[in-house]
Structure formats: C-alpha cells, structure tokens
Structure 1
C-alpha cells in the first residue's frame, strides 16, 4: 500500500510521550501513531462501542433506579450523599 506523509503539530509533552511509548513497544513513532489510528477506527473500537451500548441497555433500569432521571442518586434525597 502506498504511504502518504502527514505532518502534525503537538506539544512537547505529547511528542515525548509518543516517542517513549513507541520505544517501549520497539517500533517507530510513525508506526506507533499508525497503529493508534487503526485501533481507534478499526474493529476493536467498534466492538468496544457495541459492547458498551449493550451493557447500558441491559442495565438501564439499574442506573435509573440508582441515579434517577435528574442524575441525583437515591441517597442524595435522604441526605446520605456519597463521599
């Protein structure tokens, strides 16, 4: 597959982190970034999103009971807020 050059600007901390992560994985920064994008747009990301949606649908009533429609926990109404 043909390669296309992509130039990006990031702050020094992000660049340092990318270099360190790539080195720790034994790959170039270019390859590291390429893999991150593939993971983000690929099947792994989609599988996670679908699993999270299924989980939320399955436990929707539990969340509604615990947090209510207004986002306040059931304990907040009794003066027993979480810490």
Structure 2
C-alpha cells in the first residue's frame, strides 16, 4: 500500500507521550500512530455493525410486515 505523508501539530506533552509509547512498544512513532488510527476505525466499524444488527432485531417484524415473509433474515 502506498504511503502518504500526514503532518500534524500536537502539544509537547502529547508528542512526548507518543514517542515514549512507541519506544516502549518497539515501533516508530509513525507506526504507533498508524496502529492507533486503525484500532479506532476498526472499533467504530464494529460498533456500527453491532448497532445495525440490534436495529434489525428490534424492527424485524416491521420489515417482515412491510416487505413480506419472502425477505426474512437468515
């Protein structure tokens, strides 16, 4: 995957914490930040899927009534 440069500005305390955490994990600051973003977006995606599944459970009868039994969930 191609890499894109992203410049961000953070306060010195945040920069120091990022450097320390990256060092403790044995990765670069770039990799540490990349992992944080991937984790955050993964959790958000999972939360969305769980909310959608909950919605479908709650309103399954409404959809069945509107669209008929031919469209039941599996």
Please, what TM-score do these two structures have when normalized by structure 1? Answer: 0.54
Distance in 2 (CA, whole Å) between partners of 1:6 and 1:29 is 13
Higher helix share: 2
Tell me which stretches of 4 or more aligned residues in structure 1 moved more than 6 Å.
none
Matching residue of 1:73: none
1:15-54 matches, within 5 Å, as 15-42=15-42, 44-47=43-46, 50=50
Aligned length: 51
1:21-51 per-position Cα deviation (integer Å, ceiling 9, x unaligned): 0000000000000000000001x44446749
Q: Write out per-residue CA displacement over residues 30-77 of structure 1, whole angstroms, 9 at most, x where no aligned residue.
A: 0000000000001x44446749xx7xxxxxxxxxxxxxxxxxxxxxxx
- Quick one: higher RCO (CA 8 Å, sep 6+), 1 or 2? 2
Partner of 1:4: 4
